[in-house]
Chains A and B, each alone.
Chain A
Amino acid sequence: MEHLKSKRDGLLIFSDYKKTPFKILYGLMVLIIMIAIIVTVFPPIWLFLSSFKSAAELDSPPFTLFPEKFKLSKVVELWNWLQFGRYYLNSLWLILGALFCSILFNGLLAYAISIVKPVGHKIVFTLVMISLMVPVILNMGPLLQNIRNVGMTGTYLPLWLVHGANPFYFILFKVYFDQLPKTLFEQAQLDGCTKFQMFRKIVVPLSRPIVMVVSIFTVNAAWSDFLLPYLVLSGESAKQPVMVMIYSFYDNLGRQQGLTLDRLLMIISISIIPTIIFFIIFQKQITSSVATTGIKE
């Protein structure tokens, strides 16, 4: 309770907490938060515990939370059977390419529109803003047709490049560049810098915070996306990333030898682990970028 005695800002402060009803209220608030946390944490724990059950155990009453036994060998067996490591490497490769495209192309476009401002930049800006409203899935058919026509089906290229045409990332960059002091660029221009040199020597070094934010969103998106990769890489099972592998597994559940529910739950559990590690490492950056940009994914 020491904390409450020193609380000096917000809706309720130390003087309020001298009264018993507010002390009770505080306890109640903590209780509600605890319940909310149980709701957020229980499903993944359930998933993790269930994945150690056998298929028969999952399928028969009565309900139990814990598996009969934890066999870590199950993880190893499944990992080797599916050659799961390969999918992780594919995902990593996809994420790296996506990061490169997302930062380079959205960043350059935002730099041009926010700072260089060549004739016609307003039209381009309007068109990009309009594409905010067009989810990729909406025009998936013609898009796949385009990808086929240029011979990129079955390759990572379209899956990398699609991150380079993202209006949300573009806006994040643009808002950031708009705030940079204009005098910097005027001075550089007087010193005879070209537009590209200005980008390399001024914009890039100043852009670390925004690059961080866009990178976090891109890594998350490239890791989680499954539909476009599934459609573009269909038939190329050796190139599939983790999420596509999970989707194919789910799609064929019970139809092929060995594709059982407990194994599905286990590969999903395993797939959440890198996300958790990433989250622990970049927790501060992730939560602050969500709070400041107002974009969730």
Chain B
Amino acid sequence: MNKVIKKNLGGWLIMLPSIVLFIFFVWLPLASNVSLSLFETVGYTKVKFIGLDNYKAVLNDPVFVKAFMNTLKYTFWSILIGFAFPIFLALLLSEIIHLKGLFRTLIYFPNIVPGLAVVIMWKYLFNPEPHGTLNAILEVFHISPQIWLNSQNLVIPLIVLTMTWKGAGATTLIYLATIQGIDNTYYEASRIEGATLWQRIRHITLPHLIPTIRMLFILQIITVFQVFYEPLVMTSGGPNNSSISLLQLIYKYAYMREDPNGISKAAAIGVIVAIMLFILTFVYLKLTKEKE
């Protein structure tokens, strides 16, 4: 026993500070969430054990259902708007020789703008007044002015558009790196056999991209599932809760204190979201393992 301790003490001591940090910032809060979700609470004080009642209350809460459906909508729109586009851009960037350094830099640029700056900037670009910037641009094409974020149907796609504006450049660079890693002899061989451009893309480029595409697809779902500060800042979840997300609902219950049982409800939603994220992460790790 003494031998084991002596042999491992050094390693344990090296891990110790980091483990304490993980406990403090991740595992302990997660554990308190699980425990809080099973109690009736006043503030953070547990009053009475009520089993799964908080979960029942949450699942019957129309706002939760709305937030859940919205989060699915965010995911759907982000796949629709934001998924294929970076692959397409990466293909173009890999082929263009003129000014390629400058093009890549500028495509990537939005990614370095702080998220808060991005969402506030877009909020005012989506000015619903007729003299708002985007409406003024629409007017050039004789399209009538839109109310943008005030529209229940447009609000989620528009927030997704904002997120895509910020994120697409980085995704493009990841695909670009993969495309540039493709061995040129494949293309040479295909040319000798007289393959058309489409056949080259279809049978060489795309198959090489498949592992990256799979990985980024699930990673994007995980990321969008955690959408939070974008609707918080741009719309506060409105109009009429039509853009509220699951994490935002947690924040609302935990801080707005409209609901006396808000803390334990927030905890219950937290646990539900954690389980869903756990499943998604599990799939992600499986896929990345396959890639290696």
B38 at the interface (CB under 8 A from A): no
Is B189 in contact with chain A by the CB < 8 A criterion? no
Q: Does B18 lie within 8 Å of A108, measured CB to CB?
A: yes
Contacts A10-B187, A40-B110, A145-B32; is A129 near B285 (CB within 8 Å)? yes
- Report how far A11 CA is from B96 CA in the complex, Å: 11
* Of B53-61, B67-75, B147-155, B167-175, the one with at least 4 CB within 8 A of chain A: B167-175
Determine the residue in chain B with the shortest Cβ distance to A37. B106
Interface string of A39-64 (1 = CB under 8 A from B): 11101101100100000000011110
CA distance A108 to B171 in the complex (A): 30
Q: Is B49's beta carbon under 8 Å from chain A?
A: no
Instruction: Tell me which of A77-85, A92-100, A132-140, A180-188 binds B.
Output: A132-140
Give per-residue flags for B117-139: 1 if the beta carbon is below 8 A from chain A beta carbons, else 0.
Answer: 10011101100011111011000
Q: Is the CB of A294 within 8 A of B165?
A: no
Q: A11-B200, A131-B27 are in contact. Are A40 and B14 (CB under 8 A)?
A: no
Among B9, B117, B170, the residue within 8 A (CB) of A296 is B170
Q: Is the CB of A11 within 8 A of B89?
A: no
- B26 near A44 with CB under 8 A, answer no
**A4 near B: Cβ within 8 Å?**
yes
Residue of A with least CB distance to B5? A119
Q: Are A138 and B111 within 8 A (Cβ)?
A: no
A221 to B151, CA, bound (A): 32
Residues of A with C-beta under 8 A to B144: none
Docked complex: A69-117 residues within 8 A CB-CB of B: 105-106, 108-109, 111-113, 116-117
B247/A138 in contact, CB under 8 A: yes
Distance in angstroms from A157 CB to nearest chain B CB is 11
CB contacts (< 8 Å) of B33 on chain A: these are 138-139, 141-142
**CA–CA, A263 to B170, complex, Å?**
30
| 0/1 interface trace, chain B 98-117, chain A, CB 8 Å (1 if under) | 10000111111111111111
Query: Is A296 in contact with B171, judged by CB distance below 8 angstroms?
Result: yes
Instruction: Answer yes or no: A207 CB below 8 A from chain B CBs.
Output: no
Q: Are B174 and A291 in contact (CB under 8 A)?
A: yes
Whether A40 contacts B96 by the Cβ 8 Å rule is no
Minimal beta-carbon separation of B270 from chain A (angstroms)? 5
17 contacts between A and B (CB under 8 A): A10-B184, A13-B187, A26-B96, A44-B121, A105-B18, A108-B14, A109-B19, A132-B281, A133-B278, A138-B33, A138-B277, A141-B29, A164-B17, A165-B18, A165-B24, A243-B114, A243-B116
Task: Please name 5 further chain A to chain B contacts, defined as beta carbons within 8 Å, in addition to the given A139-B32, A224-B115, A243-B116, sorted by A numbering.
Answer: A32-B92, A40-B106, A133-B281, A161-B21, A227-B229
* A interface residues (Cβ-Cβ under 8 A, vs B): 3-4, 7-13, 15-16, 22, 26, 29-30, 32-33, 36-37, 39-41, 43-44, 46-47, 50, 60-63, 105-106, 108-109, 111-113, 116-121, 124, 127-143, 145-146, 161-162, 164-165, 170, 194-196, 199, 220, 223-224, 226-227, 243, 246-247, 250, 261, 264-265, 268, 271-272, 275-276, 278-279, 283, 286-287, 290-292, 294, 296-297
